[in-house]
Amino acid sequence: MPKTSADEIILSYNDCVLRQSDLAILNGPNYLNDRIIEFYFSYLSSCHPSEHILLVPPSIAYWTMNCPDTDSLKEFLQPLNLPSKKLIIFPVNDNDDVAAAGGGSHWSLLAYEKTTNVFVHHDSLGGSNEYDAKRLYESLIPHMGVIIPRPGFIESDCSPQQSNGYDCGLYVIAIAKEICKWFDSNEKVNEHLWFSRVKEQVNASTVSGLRSEIMELIKDLREKK
């Protein structure tokens, strides 16, 4: 079957493939899909090439939350070497149908910080994904290594809030970006977590500019190919 224009590959970056349809999503007020979030997480990993940081693609986070077989999940997660990481960031999606690829209507972010031994959930829509984030948290606990006490879970009350029904994925990207910057900065000396940085740097104005920023990034990467 011949490709349609929407299926045309516009960029291959690391293990991510973006298509023309992804640009259409970025061009308008649309809900971000898995591919765009995976691409930007991969880009952040390149910007913060630390063995201690892991940004988990949406597909892996989703299967971790929904895999019905504990043994196969252990094998699935083993290559990530979760116990060795000091900062792990997961996108959380509320799709409750594993047979519906690309389903769901809301994204949020779950981050684990090893020094404080806590998972923090950032949700830009008033905790809408708290149930799903806790499901992911419970699925991850057996694979984090021997940690005493058990890692905690915090529903962050300083998460910036979206004012529309489609920017949740952009908030995930914006918050992940600031958490990675926090990890690489000297702010960790004075602060245990990244809350102040996220509160100061992530807002409706900075998030609204992310669509064009990502478009420019894609354009620059294409030109370097």
Mind giving me the DSSP string for 65-108?
Answer: HH-S-HHHHHHHHGGG-GGG-SEEEEEEE----TTSTT--S-EE
Closest CA to 155 of 200, 181, 124: 124
Identify the active-site residue in 16, 34, 168, 180: 168
How far apart are alpha carbons 194 and 187 in whole angstroms? 8
Contact 76, 59 (CB under 8 A): no
Q: Is-catalytic flag, 143?
A: no
**Does the annotation mark 168 as catalytic?**
yes
The span from the CA of 1 to the CA of 14, in Å, is 26
Active-site choice (22, 34, 123, 167)? 123
Give the span between the Cα atoms of 169 and 185, in whole angstroms: 25
Tell me if residue 69 is catalytic: no
93 alpha-carbon distance from chain centroid: 10
Residue among 22, 106, 121, 167 flagged as catalytic: 106
How far is residue 79's CA from residue 105's CA, in Å, rounded to a whole number? 29
Residues 6+ apart with CB under 8 A from 186: none
143 in Cβ contact with 76 (< 8 Å): no
Q: Which residues are catalytic?
A: 106, 123, 168
